[in-house]
Amino acid sequence: MHPPIIKKTLAHLPLAPNWVDSVQAREAFSWQVEASALVGLPGGGLNLAYEAVDRHAQSAHRWHTALRMLDRNGGSCDISYAQLSIQSNRFANVLKQLGVVPGERLFVLCARGLELYLGVLGGLKLGCVVSPLFCAFGPEPIETRLRLGEGSVLLTSETLYRRKVAAIRERLPALKHVLLYDDNGGDTVCIDGTLNLHQLLMQAEEAFTVVNTTADSPALLHFTSGTTGTPKGVLHVHGAALTHLVTGKYALDLHPDDVYWCSADPGWVTGTSYGIFAPLLLGVTSVVEGNEFDAERWYRILEGQQVTVWYTAPTAIRLLMKAGAALARSHRFARLRFIASVGEPLNPEAVWWGQEVLGLPIHDNWWQTETGGIMIANTVAMPIKPGSMGKPLPGVEAAIVAREEKGLVFLGDNKVGDLALKQPWPAMFRAYLGQEQRYRQCFVGEWYLSGDLVRRDADGYYWFIGRSDDVIKSAGHLIGPFEVENSLMEHPAVAEAAVIGKPDPMLGETVKAFVSLKRGFIASQALHDELLGHGRKRLGAVVAPKELEFVQALPHTRSGKLMRRLLKARELGLPEGDTSSMESPS
Ligand code: ATP
Ligand code: MG
């Protein structure tokens, strides 16, 4: 068994951290002071792309590498802040020439390459609302999102268009312009009813006056992961820049000379807030890698690119763990100084695996599409309690509440309740597209209710219990699936575990576990009984699973999250609901 805490001392950190948690530092934090890092537009407004790129392009930082685009063959191409500024200006001019006006919705369905960045940044410069889509989506989820978002412009590649958009185009009457580029960097694109992006870019002017958006102007439309139901369209504003900047600095500890890698795809909010904006706002160099997961290549990137800060997800860490410690140990991560993870609960096993195999613990942090940026985090100078998501960041006021008829009841330490955040903060979402009432229901007075159940310990650390939809009530006890899954994962045979509640006439619900095994282990009655016994020993009979089923693989969203609702629907013979964001039908 591992100890419950990983201690750190400032003397062991290779760089002075941006955030050292103390009562005084928290009290001294002010959004207004942090906002002075942003310059604003000459006309008095605020524009996310201007702050992220043009601000640096007009400073001594202009030739610093903004993006290091990696290709499949080990080559790379560096793009400076100055180049990114000019190229995104050209993109904005292309849109303008087409008659696109501020407020129109631009969808970006691109693999991680330069075009994606130009589309997002150029679109924002013209005041469009930009929606990056995950390019592994099939035609149906693309159509649903484009329709809901009333996309009038689409940027995509020739191959993606042929495979995924051509057949649905007729059903998208709002879609006026489709800008295409060749997947292999060539300049010949010829499909009727589409425009050739690179030809238009070449003809476009380099200078562009950024549209005078304000902190409250809509900027980005993101779709949630669809873990608990139909994905929601979440609208964010240009003012989110301040959250991206502050959290990049304090939660990810970004420093100007960092080489940073966010392995999330910009089709998800992490890949946009932290794959595009936070590093650009802080003037660092981002490694951009767009290929499918491959453990060997990922280690080669961390080593070869001398990555210093890496932001990833539990699903990727689990895959690396599965690939074995020997592979990791055949590489040296000499400059790597900070690893963070988001998206799902991070099992203590994974935090320790980082410490033991990569030489650094993995720092879990918590946020949602709705919050637009990191809210709760294990920061660089803080001791880690593996299994905890850390503490609220400076500027974030969190509480644990119960929603009752007469209003909110605030709960003390070690009580389980809904995680609430005091509004507003700069990146707070401003709408669920087409669902005004649902949006309003998220707020009670000055508090936003996240829908996640958590507990806070006496040291102020937050512990994830489960989404309110996933929590199990058995014999009067509230059981968090994460705790049960963690304990199963401690068993050497278990690769991944998911638990659900099954209706039970006596107990309300009982816990059922689904387990996939590590390579080299075979499902058997003996192992089944051993795992149930292991659960009972660790968790006690009330909380431990009563049933356990071996599965080849567990269902995940395309962003890598366990879909417990699907396991439950299947188990109970209920409709599966929206599976459009599922990884691959199984
Ligand atoms: P949907 O809202 O469509 O069901 P989703 O909630 O998975 O999908 P996201 O906004 O991408 O969509 O994910 C945010 C959620 O992911 C959080 O509300 C939380 O449940 C979970 N999550 C994120 N980070 C963590 C973390 N560090 N620990 C535990 N859970 C996390
Ligand atoms: Mg959600």
CATH code for the domain in which residue 568 is found: 3.30.300.30
Q: Are strands 309-312 and 259-262 parallel, antiparallel or unpaired?
A: parallel
Whether 517 is in a domain gets the answer yes
Of all ligands present, the nearest one to the C-alpha of 340 is 1
**Nearest atom of ligand 1 to the alpha carbon of 581:** 3
CATH number of domain containing 155: 3.40.50.12780
Q: Give the integer Cα–Cα distance in Å for 392 and 365.
A: 9
| Minimal-distance CA residue to ligand 1 atom 27 | 366
The total of structural domains in the chain comes to: 2
Question: Is the omega angle on the peptide bond into residue 386 within 30 degrees of 0, that is, cis?
Answer: no
Whether 144 is in a domain gets the answer yes
User: What pLDDT shows up at residue 412?
Assistant: 97
Is the pLDDT at 585 greater than 60? The verdict is: no
Whether 281 is in a domain gets the answer no
The amino acid sitting at 78 is: D
Nearest to residue 107, comparing CAs of 173, 172, 152?
Answer: 152
User: What pLDDT shows up at residue 50?
Assistant: 98
User: What pLDDT shows up at residue 228?
Assistant: 83
User: What pLDDT shows up at residue 584?
Assistant: 60
Q: What are φ and ψ of residue 237, in 5° steps?
A: -115, 170
Whether 479 is in a domain gets the answer yes
| pLDDT, averaged across the chain | 94
- DSSP letter string over 500-561? EEEEETTTEEEEEEEEEEPTT----HHHHHHHHHHHHHHH-TTTS-SEEEE-S---BBTTS-
- Which of 99-103, 288-292, 518-522 is predicted most confidently? 99-103
Classified as helix, coil or strand, 119 is helix
Task: Point out which residues pair with 223 in neighbouring strands.
Answer: 233
Whether 399 is in a domain gets the answer no
Q: For the purposes of burial, counting CB atoms within 10 Å of the CB of 21, is it exposed (0-12), middle (13-18) or buried (19 or more)? A: middle
pLDDT in tens, 373-427: 999 999 999 999 999 999 999 999 999 999 998 999 999 999 999 999 999 999 9
Q: What is the mean pLDDT of residues 560-571?
A: 92
Tell which one of 221, 224, 269, 578 to mutate to probe ligand 1, the residue whose CB is within 8 A of the most ligand atoms: 224
Do 206 and 86 contact (CB within 8 A), yes or no? yes
Question: Which of 238, 269, 303 lies at the terminal end of a domain, its last residue?
Answer: 238
**Nearest atom of ligand 1 to the alpha carbon of 268:** 11
Whether 494 is in a domain gets the answer yes
Q: What is the mean pLDDT of residues 5-11?
A: 93
Question: Which of 221, 238, 255 lies at the terminal end of a domain, its last residue?
Answer: 238
Whole-angstrom CA distances from 31 to 342, 391, 448 are 24, 18, 19
Tell which one of 230, 364, 366 to mutate to probe ligand 1, the residue whose CB is within 8 A of the most ligand atoms: 366
Q: Which residues form the domain of 532? A: 470-572
- DSSP letter string over 387-403? TEEEEEPTT--EEEEEE
User: What pLDDT shows up at residue 274?
Assistant: 98
Q: Report CA(561)–ligand 1 centroid distance (Å).
A: 8
Whether 424 is in a domain gets the answer no
Q: Report CA(555)–ligand 1 centroid distance (Å).
A: 16
Is the pLDDT at 455 greater than 90? The verdict is: yes
Q: In what order do the strands lie in the sheet with 494-504?
A: 494-504, 508-517, 547-550
User: What pLDDT shows up at residue 189?
Assistant: 75
pLDDT in tens, 485-513: 999 999 999 999 999 999 998 888 999 99
Please identify which residue in the block is written with the tokens 């978002």: 149
Question: Which of 238, 262, 284 lies at the terminal end of a domain, its last residue?
Answer: 238
User: What pLDDT shows up at residue 436?
Assistant: 97
In angstroms, how far apart are the furthest CA atoms of the chain? 72
pLDDT in tens, 280-332: 999 999 999 988 889 999 999 999 999 999 999 998 998 899 899 999 999 99
Is the pLDDT at 586 greater than 50? The verdict is: no
pLDDT above 90 coverage of the chain, percent? 84
Residue 434 backbone zone (phi > 0: left; psi -120 to 50: alpha; other: beta): left
User: What pLDDT shows up at residue 136?
Assistant: 85
Is the pLDDT at 17 greater than 80? The verdict is: yes
Provide residues with CB under 6 Å of ligand 1.
224-229, 231-232, 342-346, 364-366, 368-369, 389, 450, 452, 464, 467, 561
Is the pLDDT at 1 greater than 80? The verdict is: no
| Minimal-distance CA residue to ligand 1 atom 1 | 226
Whether 526 is in a domain gets the answer yes
pLDDT bracket for residue 188 (50, 70, 90): confident
